[in-house]
Amino acid sequence: MSKSSNTLLALVLGGAIGAAAGILYAPDKGTKTRKDLSKKAKKEQEKLVKQLKETRESLTDNAQQAKLSFEEKLNSTISTASHKADDVIATLETKLAELRLQNAKLQKDATVEKAKVKTEKALS
């Protein structure tokens, strides 16, 4: 049970016990006692409505704060992931450029080697 549920239960139970004790030990007439009980019940009802309203507002505020906090953390995580992805892409592009240079050198070396072989065959 939540704190607000326990508080609500305590209020209702306290009101009922108080009403029962008031009836049992009432020194006044029944009509006066009923009026007093009615006034007390209205006051307790007003307190209860006020507490429910405050609890609802508090829960709404907490939910909004949690949502904002989540959105901030999500944006931060996305931003960090984006930067890391950019770093990975930059590293991959650098490696690709290096591999292209190595490939071009290997192709050049292979072409030179083929030309040497052809020249040697032609000279022999």
Q: What is the pTM of this model?
A: 0.44
Domain ranges of the chain: 3-123
Top-confidence residue, 19 or 17: 17
Q: What is the mean pLDDT of residues 66-92?
A: 93
Q: Supply the DSSP string of 4-48, one letter for each residue.
A: HHHHHHHHHHHHHHHHHHHHHT--S-HHHHHHHHHHHHHHHHHHH
The answer to whether residues 51 and 11 touch, using CB atoms and an 8 Å cutoff, is yes
What is the distance between the alpha carbons of residues 28 and 34, in angstroms, rounded to a whole number?
10
Residue 103 has which token pair?
């490939």
CA quadruple 75, 79, 84, 90: dihedral sign = positive
| Mean pLDDT score across all residues of the chain | 87
Whether the predicted pLDDT of 23 surpasses 80: no
**What is the per-residue pLDDT across 25-35, written as a single tens digit (0 to 9) for each?**
766 677 887 78
The pLDDT score that the predictor gives to residue 26 is: 65
Whether the predicted pLDDT of 79 surpasses 80: yes
